[in-house]
Amino acid sequence: MSSGATELRSLRSQFPEHRAQLGLSLRVTIAALSGFAFSHLLKVPLPLWTVLTAVVLTQATFGRSMKATVDYLVGTLGGAVYAGVVAVLVPHSNDVSLAGVLALAVAPLAFLGAVYPSFSVAPLTGVLVLLVPRFVHVGPIESAVDRVLEVSVGAIIALAVSLLVLPARAHSFVIEGAARTLDLMAGSLPELFEGFIRPRDAAAIARIQDSIGEAVARTQASAAEAKHERIVFLAAEPDHGPLLSTLTRLRHDLVMIGLAAAEPLPESLQARLGPLLARVAQTSADQLRGRGEALAGRRDPASLEGVEAAFDHYAEAIASVGSEGLTQGLPVDALERIFTLGFALDQMRQDLRDLDRCASEIAGRRSTPARMHAGAVKAN
């Protein structure tokens, strides 16, 4: 009994972690059942295609469902029209001639789908338009119209379910993805900076850089989906462009820092610059993590005072090193790495300021309705 209760508690504890997956599972199930019900209610010729369309187009977010639906409808309409015209104009009374018509219809549609992803479903639609009449005894034009009708019903169901049943917004995915990316960057900074003091494993650094690049790419993909939501909802949400640009630049900053830290600093500079670089790494990591938390909570970020001071101290130290002639006689590659590091730190400093503005803008947009409501109550 105790073991069963423990397993039940463990299962419940996993629900919050898989809430998005459970929500998608529920939406897909409802979409499938709704497609089945409406296909019979509307007497759709091929209910299977309506149900499949509803399932395929019910995605993790409404924005993704919207994009998938537009692409699917475009591909279906193009494939149905072209295959229907080919079927009408080219006789195919036997299997041999039908095979020729099938090739004539599918080949251009497959090429079109390869060039334009929006038409990827067109070849499949063409096949259905040509072959279904052999089994249900309808004309090619009627078959084409039926395919468009079946897909349209499934698409409408998918959009309705995505919008009404536990809706997930791509805009939220963008903010959450940005927060996770910043947290990943924050965790990577100390390890990257450690390369200025001691040799680091190049393969491990490459894995860090790749994981950050993948996180930025996922956030950019969510932002592309969010554009479709803004059209539908006419939402006054902030443009994700500045945030995405800042994330991309920060990712480039870390790449440059990784290149500069490919080898440790010359021993003559480590004692002087090592602690200051460690301070820059720690304060920058704190700021990145804090900005991620501010984005996720839609609240104003904390002050940049600590990290600004760390950058200033390093800049003063590197200027003193130069004025004291400590860089004279260093190998060219060491000088290049020191220059690259200085440039990367200047860029990262500016990018942290830009990130600060992005977080403040998102927090401001979030709080605007509440402020307006409070002002109206006060006025009344």
Query: 221 pLDDT band (50/70/90 cuts)?
Result: confident
Reduce the DSSP state of residue 150 to 3 states and report it: helix
Alpha helices in 58-139 (DSSP H): 62-89, 95-115, 122-131, 133-136
Q: Which residues of 265-292 are buried (b: 16+ CB within 10 A; e: fewer)?
A: bbeebeeebbebbbbbbbbbbbbbbbbb
CA dihedral 326→328→332→335, nearest 10 degrees, is 30
- CATH code 1.20.58 region(s) in the chain: 170-379
**In the 8-state DSSP scheme, what is residue 195?**
G
Nearest to 223 by CA among 206, 237, 202, 205: 237
pLDDT at 324 over 90: no
Fold entry, domain 170-379: Methane Monooxygenase Hydroxylase; Chain G, domain 1 (1.20.58)
Asked if 345 and 317 count as a contact pair (C-beta separation under 8 A), the reply is: no
8 has pLDDT over 50:
no
- Most confident of the ranges 62-76, 175-189, 219-233: 175-189
Of 304, 300, 252, 310, nearest in space to 277 by CA: 310
Please provide the average confidence, as pLDDT, over all residues in the chain: 84
| pLDDT score, position 299 | 82
| pLDDT (0 to 100) of residue 15 | 45
Give the mean model confidence (pLDDT) for residues 288-313: 88
More confident residue, 290 or 5: 290
Residue found under tokens 């599918």: 106
Statement: residue 76 has pLDDT above 70 = yes
Quote the pLDDT of residue 28: 93
Range picked from 62-66, 197-201, 276-280 for highest mean pLDDT? 276-280
258-289: pLDDT as tens digits = 999 888 888 888 888 999 999 999 999 999 99
Mean pLDDT of 95-107: 91
- For 13-27, what is each residue's pLDDT tens digit? 444 556 778 888 999
pLDDT for 279:
94
Dmax over Cα atoms in the chain, in whole Å? 93
pLDDT confidence of residue 375: 38
> Residue range 156-167: average pLDDT?
86
Q: How far apart are CA 279 and CA 268, in angstroms?
A: 19
Q: What pLDDT shows up at residue 240?
A: 80
Q: Decide if pLDDT at 366 tops 90.
A: no
pLDDT at 317 over 60: yes
Neighbours of 136 (CB within 10 A): 11
Pick the range with the lowest mean pLDDT from 88-102, 222-236, 330-344: 222-236
Question: d(Cα 324, Cα 199) in Å, to the nearest integer?
Answer: 27
Is the predicted pLDDT of residue 226 greater than 60, yes or no?
A: yes
Using a pLDDT cut of 70, give the percent of the chain over it: 87
**Contact assessment for residue 219 and residue 172, using Cβ atoms and an 8 Å cutoff:** no
**More reliable by pLDDT, 353 or 5:** 353
Please answer whether residues 253 and 169 qualify as being in contact, where contact means their C-beta atoms are separated by less than 8 angstroms. no
Give 5 or 119, the one with higher predicted confidence: 119
Nearest to 64 by CA among 303, 232, 260, 216: 232
Average pLDDT over residues 29-34: 94
Residue 239 pLDDT > 80: no
Query: Residue 310: is its pLDDT beyond 90?
Result: yes
